Structure 1
């Protein structure tokens, strides 16, 4: 609940008391996904806000002091420097806080989980933002942030006691809390009373930080487990939450990930050893190559010309033996082939023994490391094993990172070229012949590919979404409508005389008209 509207309502109230008439004196970033904002209050004291907005975890902190690095830091929102804060408010039914400065400037902390951002508005219009990767934020206006919801008893009655219709921002914690109190069994008037008492309690709650199966969580509701930390100070709560997330939550996450990663490696090694041992069993039960050669030489007169198989008497072990032959070779040449294999066989056995010994040692080592991880109690005890996660991440990144933009819609992957040379790379190297190729008609722009490895019929709405991107990343981006070519990649080719990014489309399967739109 650290980014929940009701928690932010308390935070905004406390920030208003501290920051009203304070001046912004520093705003910079010195690490990826981290923004630091420093204020000077009227009493001369400093107040710091540190925003950590990663793709996996986002939160705010309030350090008592902060030393800016001497290098590798970038100033941001310079237009706000030395401006005075006039008000702080949480937006209605939304996870966002606004700092209102003189001159109609508003700095908004949009706390939407992995889409959290800090956005500057001037006279209600977007002026700049911290996280440039969140393209939709460029289209926001200040008036969009308030969500008006009728929260009267009449609306509650019309919703038949469905509190989520009036207070969707209470979230899953409230659902569990009401279930525990038997909300559904109460009369509607008592349900309303419980809802109002809950809202009143959330004005001055005891903030608890607890451990859940999904990690460290912050909640405003009463908990039925031992809390890691409890406080009524909202700044203290966020600082402790951030610390515990990494000291406890990240430890648990890394430990589980290491157990999973090494467990897979351990199992893979065991299966590999089993396959090696099966090779030995198969080899022991088979006739030796030298024996096969001798049998062939003894019965040369029984081997038909051009035969691929021959069945001969096995004078070593009795019975019959079926021997594979190379139809292109004579009987003596086939025998010589088996004699040659016999000479190499001793080398193969030696290599096999080395591989078996190495795999057994690997299995033993991985087993010991799994025991070490399982008994680890603090994060530093995991340090010797973190190399496995780094290897896994680098392997994943090398396979996942693509040199062009990637979008997802309805389970379909869309790739967009970044420039002329990148377009060639996308279309000529990465795209397959059954992928869908799109491009704004008669103007320069990005090549766009809808991946279609299963050779399915691509839904019309997916084609339209991809066409919107093709229009947006073209010279027609500012036009109200843009024609976009849609065809299979197999109908797109390039000749040597063409410049980078230029191609020949042999067949336009269709042309769609769309509004140039950037979406995520």
Structure 2
């Protein structure tokens, strides 16, 4: 409720006493989502407002002092420097505070959750704003920020006692409070009296900071149970709220997110390892590819054209064997297909074992990390693991107009070629040398690129997801597991004698064995 209209009304009253006739001496930003506003009061004291407007958490803070960094800071709203504050107020039925300055200039602290902003108006017209990404704020007109709502008894009676229609700013906490006191069971007159008594109570600054299932909360409604902090000072309460949010609430939120993230990754790794183990068992109980090729060559005369399978004598182990065939290939071509698989079998086994070892190590590491996170009691102990939560998105210019398939997972963009010519376009024109290039090994298929303009280390699970796509969009799409080449795009080149889609890979940095999978 720290950005609720009724709390902001209390805060504005207190700020009016502090800031009236104070001069704006600094206004700057040195963090992406943070604006610092410094005032010099008539008694010579400084007063600071720090506007923290991240996508996860937006609030005001009032540090007792603030030292501007020597670098990476930028001045904002310079037209207001040395101007004197004339009034501070909350906008009618709105989550915004206005600071009027001499010269008909108004600085608005718009506290709309993840759409919070600071906007400067001159004679009621928009002049500048802090968060430039909030494009709709450019259209705001100062007088329209006041929301006039008829809130007398006649309007209440016309709304059949629906207090939300008259006071939408009471919010979810107000609704819970009204429900707890059986508002719906009261008579219309009883509801009106309860509403008026509640509004009178909210005008008195009884502020509590409490711990909820969603984190740390600030409320001006009466509470049941113990509070982490209580005060009649809105400035002091917001400072405590900011501190407790990060020391307790944010710690528990991040700890929960880390446990959820690593648990999912560990379960996925376990399932992947089980898939690898199952595939090895299938190989052990089936004939070797070379033996199947020999059987086909020995009985070419028994293979009907266009057959999807054939049952032949197994002269290696006795009895008969059912062999799958490609109906589009002749008998010798099907045998050659099995010989090719046999040729790659030794390499695939090596890659298979490498993947097994890697997954076992990954499962062990995730288990160790989960154990350390579970026993963490403060943010300092959690700090080494916080980078795991940072999902960085890569902007793709004119993405809708790109000519190939596009996928995105955990902020990483993956491109997939549509055909041979399109593969050339993707690899030779759009992909950059530090992008990751993937292709199903020894068969035709789509070129796949993981975009990496910032030259970061691509997480293994992202490589595997891209490899699944490369396997799916290849001639090995129906196989249980498919080896996929992984390398930097700088090691991929094309000579003039090659057909569309054909390239030369100078260095295979890695080969991963994955199950062909299409995901969105």
Fold match (TM-score > 0.5): yes
Q: CA shift at 1:344, angstroms?
A: 5.0
Partner of 2:462: none
Provide, for residues 51-103 of structure 1, a one-character-per-residue CA deviation record: whole Å limited to 9, x for no partner. 11223321111111111111222111222111111211111111111111222
Partner of 1:353: 353
Partner of 1:169: 169
In the alignment, does 2:201 pair up with 1:231? no
Q: CA shift at 1:353, angstroms?
A: 2.8
Partner of 2:286: 286
In the alignment, does 2:101 pair up with 1:101? yes
CA contact (8 A) 1:290 1:338 kept: yes
CA contact (8 A) 1:48 1:63 kept: yes
- Residue 237 to residue 320, structure 1, CA distance change in 2 (3 Å): same
Partner of 1:179: 179
- Residue 209 to residue 292, structure 1, CA distance change in 2 (3 Å): same
Give me the whole-angstrom Cα distance separating, in 2, the residues matched to 1:233 and 1:266.
47
Q: CA shift at 1:315, angstroms?
A: 3.9
Q: Within 5 A, what are the aligned runs for 1:6-405?
A: 6-292=6-292, 295=295, 299=298, 303=302, 310-323=310-323, 342=342, 344-390=344-390, 393-394=391-392, 397-398=393-394, 401-403=395-397
Give me the whole-angstrom Cα distance separating, in 2, the residues matched to 1:17 and 1:328.
88
Give me the whole-angstrom Cα distance separating, in 1, the residues matched to 2:122 and 2:64.
30
Indicate the SS of the match to 2:365: helix
Indicate the SS of the match to 1:322: strand
Provide, for residues 204-226 of structure 1, a one-character-per-residue CA deviation record: whole Å limited to 9, x for no partner. 23211222233322111122243
Q: How many residues align?
A: 404
- Residue 284 to residue 237, structure 1, CA distance change in 2 (3 Å): same
Q: CA shift at 1:296, angstroms?
A: 5.5
Cα-Cα RMSD: 2.8
Indicate the SS of the match to 2:377: coil
Unaligned runs of 5+ in 1: 405-424, 433-520
Give me the whole-angstrom Cα distance separating, in 2, the residues matched to 1:293 and 1:156.
86
* TM-score (normalised: structure 1): 0.71
Q: CA shift at 1:44, angstroms?
A: 0.8
Unaligned runs of 5+ in 2: 407-520
CA contact (8 A) 1:205 1:221 kept: no
Indicate the SS of the match to 1:349: helix
Give me the whole-angstrom Cα distance separating, in 2, the residues matched to 1:352 and 1:125.
66
* TM-score (normalised: structure 2): 0.71
Indicate the SS of the match to 1:71: coil
Indicate the SS of the match to 1:83: coil
Q: Which runs of 4+ in 1 moved over 6 A?
A: 325-331, 333-337
CA contact (8 A) 2:230 2:237 kept: yes
